Structure 1
């Protein structure tokens, strides 16, 4: 199993991996979860997949993707869009509620957003724990490499049960809300304990 952090600067070094990640996102979010998201060429994408973002792929040696994560700085801008949680709060996304945060969404170079987190249903049960560990490690390392001290994310509302087991320190920054297929909540993940 391998972890690769992709960016527009390095994706040419990784063959089909970037496309495979977007294909896996389609499988996870559109096929498995039945979310109404944009797709083309068998890939899921949105307006936040820009050169400002980083993508984490957990995959085998042949490029088969098991899991993935997208990281985007809260300072990102592309036309009228910034980052998903902030744009939802600003009413730019009809699919997400505007009251998902207790306070105004942060815009800070040390705070990054974590979205499009998934593990494919086809990922063998025998390696799932290892996949989760790789995901957390890569997410923390990648965010820290970009200068982040915090992450914000929309996560399943049962996050307190498993964040501690994953070694993450987090707090709720919004109410529990039913979105699409379940209860979700915005959280802030503290990376200061993970500083090198």
Structure 2
């Protein structure tokens, strides 16, 4: 099991890995979960897949994607968009309620958003915990290298069951909301304790 953090600067060094990650996102979010999201050429994407973002990918030696995640600075702007959680709060996204945070969405150099976090549907149950832990560990490493002390993320509301297992302190930042028949909640992942 390997991890790679992709950016528009290094994407060309990793063959099909970026496309494979977008294909894995499509397989899970569009095919399996039946979410109505943009897709092209068998890949899922949205307005936040820009040069400002990074993508953490867990994969095997053949490039088969096991898990992935997108990191976006909370300071980014592209037209009317900033980052997913903030844009939802501002009422720009139809599929995510605007009351997802207790307070105004932060805009700060040291806070990034973690979105599109997934473990591929075809990863066997016996491997899922290890793959998920590897993803969160590499997410933390990538975030720290980018100068982030914390990441906001919209997660399944069952996060308190597994947060301790992946070694990241998490705090609820908004109410539990039902989105697409799944209880979700915005959480802050604290990476400040492990900065060097």
TM-score when normalising by structure 2:
0.98
Runs of 4+ in 1 over 3 A off after TM superposition: none
* Pairwise CA distance, 1:181: 2.8
| Equivalent residue number for residue 185 of structure 1 | 185
| Equivalent residue number for residue 94 of structure 1 | 94
- Partner SS state of residue 184, structure 1: strand
- Partner SS state of residue 170, structure 2: strand
- Partner SS state of residue 131, structure 2: helix
State the distance in 2 between where 1:158 and 1:130 align: 17
Is residue 46 of structure 1 aligned with residue 46 of structure 2? Answer: yes
State the distance in 2 between where 1:122 and 1:160 align: 24
| Equivalent residue number for residue 78 of structure 1 | 78
Unpaired stretches in structure 1, ≥5 consecutive residues: none
Question: Aligned-residue CA RMSD in angstroms?
Answer: 0.8
* Pairwise CA distance, 1:171: 0.8
Unpaired stretches in structure 2, ≥5 consecutive residues: none
| Equivalent residue number for residue 106 of structure 2 | 106
State the distance in 2 between where 1:21 and 1:57 align: 7
| Equivalent residue number for residue 172 of structure 2 | 172
Please tell me whether the aligned partners of residues 137 and 166 of structure 2 are also in contact (alpha carbons under 8 angstroms): no
- Partner SS state of residue 187, structure 1: strand
Query: Which deviates further from its counterpart, 119-128 or 104-113?
Result: 119-128
Aligned pair count?
196
State the distance in 2 between where 1:179 and 1:93 align: 12
State the distance in 2 between where 1:159 and 1:144 align: 21
| Equivalent residue number for residue 63 of structure 1 | 63
| Equivalent residue number for residue 140 of structure 1 | 140
| Equivalent residue number for residue 19 of structure 2 | 19
| Equivalent residue number for residue 31 of structure 1 | 31
- Partner SS state of residue 165, structure 1: helix
State the distance in 1 between where 2:183 and 2:10 align: 36
* Pairwise CA distance, 1:194: 1.5
* Pairwise CA distance, 1:130: 2.0
State the distance in 1 between where 2:2 and 2:187 align: 27
TM-score when normalising by structure 1:
0.98
Q: Deviations over 1:59-80 (max 9, x none)?
A: 1111110110000000011110
* Pairwise CA distance, 1:120: 1.1
| Equivalent residue number for residue 152 of structure 2 | 152
